[in-house]
Amino acid sequence: MSITFISEHNVFKLDGKDYTYLIGVYDNRYLLTLYYGKKIEIVDPSRLMVTRELGFSPSPHEDFYRRDRSLDTMLQECPTFGYGDFRIPSIMIEQENGSRCLDLRYKSYEFLSDKPLISQMPSLKEDDHCDSLKITLKDEVSGVEVDLFYNVYQNRNVLTRHLKIRNTGKEKLIISKAMSCSFDLRDNQFDLLQLIGTHCEERHIEVTPLRHGISKIESRRCTSSHMLNPFMALCRKDVNEYNGEVYGINLVYSGNYEGTIEVDQRHTTRVQMGIGSFDFAWPLMANEVFETPEVVMVYSPNGLNAMSQTFHDLYNDCLLKKHYHHPIVVNNWEATYFDFNEEKLTKLIESAKGLGIETFVLDDGWFAKRNNDESSLGDWVVNTQKLPNGLEKIADICKKNKLGFGLWFEPEMISEESSLYKNHPEYAIRISNRPHLYSRCQLVLDLSKKEVCDYIIKAISDVVDNLPITYIKWDFNRNITETQNKQLCHKYVLGLYYVLDAITSKYPNIMIEGCSGGGGRFDPAMLYYTPQIWTSDDTDAIERLYIQYGTSIVYPPTSMVGHVSVTPNHQTGRVTPFKTRGIVAMSANFGYELNPQVLSEAEQEMVKAQTKEYQHLRKVIYNSSFYRLRSPYKGNDCAWSFVSKNKKEVYVMYVRILNAATNEFDYLLLKGLDEKKIYLDVANNVKYTGSELMNVGLLLPRHPYDFNGIMYHFKEVRE
């Protein structure tokens, strides 16, 4: 059992693989974070419930003579507003008399036999060694009861949390803040790592020293966003990829969120993450319950790479559905954009035959009058001008050429110029007395309404039921504005999960690739439904180094999609070697974003070699540990590797960015191998010991030009 209640000290002890988390019940009243860090045994954990008097820190009413007792100075698990703690609360609830004060006191605890599901939202599956605890707190005056849930994955460095708020009183309450987790650390000696970006530049790594006051990441776009991923890490000052303590936190949610850190007057650090409280208010009537999404907390005593591996293994094992086939695709977006017809597509599909490509994905532009991005979203009927023989004909051509058939949808959107809008203008999100606000000329369907969700499910089913579709690309190309009320964003997200639940249950074998103008909705909740996500609309291999490297901080390569596109690259104009483009794309779920007809014979041969290699590589990737070896953020090159879990097989990818005339001796040190094994460099037929590759390294060749990419494949050989 990884969770124990030490009754003589009133302390809960939660033990993961390398961490301990201690929660104390102070004076049978308040729930305190006593410790979160490296795994420990402790004689008397109640010693950690230290209180000291501090000026201007008020005491609860029964502690008139105990000035040392103040919620303002204690390290808390579920801080509230108005009862002495001036730091950020994790819960704010307005009562009918206008008070937002809550005095949440310990009521009870329960060990749960199963990890609880969260109503209407996706959450992680338990593994064979997961224990769950519920602690209940209550404010007697308002009747607010809060259940705090803790799930300890005892063989991993993972703790997940969420909470339930119950109105046991008679009044109407309004929740304006409800964080999925809050905990206090005893010092502030951390840097904050966050994943920042924009469209075509997602999840770049930014590290800043923690300062006093509040540091915050958030999204106010009703989506997890390109700009700030719902992830943050607190890193000890000496952290690098392989050393030092890191606390990583990721929210399983796709809407407005916030991650907040406050360093207070005593230099302690409060950490919180949950649904965004910006423009949020949720009425809670008597007997109603509100649940928050799940937050995943990972502790690493051994640097960033170990933290990432913990997230990767957890998401591979307990989040991403396993039964899907991840095919090598060719997608026509960059090959044709909107400008295609049956003849063009036929040639494109035929030219993919024999190259090892497994699925053709028909992107935007196949429906209604969609010849540019100004119309037709919502009308999911074929564009007969372009495809007079319907999608059936395209599916047929795919079949003849032994390719699966995939189709693009942007189900959550509506164009003003569409039959759907003519018949149901009320389906679009808007403020009734104001004109529409456009983004990419389109509007968003109001998924907070059940009839709109049901329309989407039916519209997709009507297409999919009549075609042999094996793959869907689910796009989302604008953020949400004009939210008429403070519940809309959360209700929208719940509606989205309702739709995705329905579609994935109805079509369990159709692989859905998630997309939001690239990686604008790359979060664990979307990954639950769409087990691979188009990582970015930027297909330039060099820019992708930064994007995929940053994404790998949390999300496994098995969840990313990477495609080889033509050069000059459509986003940057850069010309990179075909081989390099392949190496970068193959480190994600692999495919092509081009018309194979435009490739030279030599390039077509390279495609055949790449797809053959990838068919083997993907088996390794899906059962491997990922190592970041050189960061593009720190130098002029980038390197990473996949080491199979049994350490018998290794792929190493290396990309040099700009070349130099100097003929340097550059040894790349590998990680995670078996010191004693002998590894054969398959292409060059050279043998190395594991200890040699990790300590002497691999001598890189002289680079012939800029953007040179090299891929090594090692296999264990027996002497």
Nearer to ligand DGJ, 32 or 472 (CB): 472
Comparing CB distances to ligand DGJ, the nearer of 147 and 593 is: 593
- 254 near 223, Cβ under 8 Å? yes
DSSP 691-704: HHHHHT-EEPPPP-
Interface with ligand DGJ (CB under 6 A), residue from 364, 416, 538, 543: 364
Q: Which C-beta is closer to ligand DGJ: that of 48 or that of 391?
A: 391
Give whichever of 517 and 672 is closer to ligand DGJ, judged by the CB atom: 517
Q: Is 475 annotated in the active site?
A: yes
223-282 residues near ligand DGJ, rule: CB under 6 A: none
* Distance, CA of 32 to chain centre: 29
Nearest in space to 654 (alpha carbons), one of 583, 575, 577, 550: 583
Q: Under 8 Å CB-to-CB from 200, ≥6 apart: which residues? A: 518, 536, 537, 538, 543, 571
Q: Which string of x and - marks every residue 533-562 that binds ligand DGJ (by CB under 6 A)?
A: -x--x-------------------------
Omega before 568 cis (within 30°)? yes
Residue 570 beta carbon to ligand DGJ: minimum distance, rounded to whole angstroms: 11
Select the span of 210-218, 269-277, 464-472, 510-518 touching ligand DGJ (CB under 6 A): 510-518
Q: Decide: is 12 part of the binding site for ligand DGJ (CB under 6 A).
A: no
Residue 696's CB is within 10 A of a number of other CB atoms, namely 13
Name which of 24 and 517 has its Cβ closer to ligand DGJ: 517
CB atoms within 10 A of CB 441: 15
Distance CA 649, CA 697 (A): 17
Nearest approach in angstroms of CB 517 to ligand DGJ is 5
Among 291, 412, 475, 613, binds ligand DGJ (CB under 6 A): 475
Cβ nearer to ligand DGJ, comparing 139 with 363: 363
Say which of 537, 538, 540, 637 is annotated catalytic: 537
The reply on whether position 415 binds ligand DGJ by CB under 6 A is no
From candidates 109, 231, 408, 549, binder to ligand DGJ by CB under 6 A? 408
Between strands 469-474 and 511-514, the pairing is parallel
CA separation for the pair 651, 644 (Å, rounded): 9
Active-site position among 446, 475, 540, 637: 475
Minimum Å gap between C-beta 364 and ligand DGJ is 3
Tokens of 542: 């060099």
Of the pair 372, 384, the CB lying nearest ligand DGJ is at: 372
Least spacing, CB of residue 298 vs ligand DGJ, in Å: 29
471 in contact with ligand DGJ (CB under 6 A): no
661 three-class SS: coil
Residues 106, 107, 113, 118, Cα dihedral to 10°: -80
> Does residue 564 belong to the site contacting ligand DGJ (CB under 6 A)?
no
DSSP bridge pairs for 624: 644
Which amino acid makes up residue 257? Answer: Y
State yes or no: residue 517 binds ligand DGJ (CB under 6 A). Answer: yes
Distant-in-sequence, close-in-space partners of 34: CB < 8 Å, separation ≥ 6: 11, 22, 23, 24, 45, 48, 49, 75
Of 227-235, 252-260, 418-426, 515-523, which part binds ligand DGJ (CB under 6 A)?
A: 515-523
Check: CB of residue 689 under 8 Å from CB of residue 679. yes
User: DSSP assignment, residue 143?
Assistant: T
Cα R_g (the chain), whole angstroms: 27
Position 515 contacts ligand DGJ (CB under 6 A): yes
Q: Is 184 a catalytic residue?
A: no
Query: Token pair 């952290």 is at which residue?
Result: 239
Q: Which is nearer to ligand DGJ, 226 or 270 (CB)?
A: 226
List, as one string, the DSSP characters of 556-625: -GGGEEEEEE-SS-TTT-----HHHHHHHHTTSEEEEES-GGGS-HHHHHHHHHHHHHHHHHHHHHTTEE
Residue 380 within binding range of ligand DGJ, rule CB under 6 A: no
Residue, CB closest to ligand DGJ: 364
Q: Is 710 in the site for ligand DGJ (CB under 6 A)?
A: no
Does residue 360 bind ligand DGJ (CB under 6 A)?
Answer: no
Q: Is 127 exposed, middle or buried (0-12, 13-18, 19+ CB in 10 A)?
A: middle
513 binds ligand DGJ (CB under 6 A): no
| 674 phi, psi to nearest 5 deg | -85, 120
State which of residues 363, 446, 513, 538 lies at the interface with ligand DGJ (CB under 6 A).
363
Q: Which is nearer to ligand DGJ, 497 or 534 (CB)?
A: 534
**What residues pair up with 110 in beta bridges, in sequence order?**
134
When binding is defined by CB under 6 A, the residue of 311, 315, 333, 409 that contacts ligand DGJ is 333
Query: Residue 521 and residue 536: Cα distance in Å, rounded?
Result: 10
Rule CB under 6 A: is residue 522 a binding residue for ligand DGJ? Answer: no
Task: Report if residue 617 touches ligand DGJ, rule: CB under 6 A.
Answer: no
Return the active site residues. 475, 537
Residues that bind ligand DGJ in the complex, under the rule CB under 6 A? 333, 363-364, 408, 475, 477, 515, 517-518, 534, 537
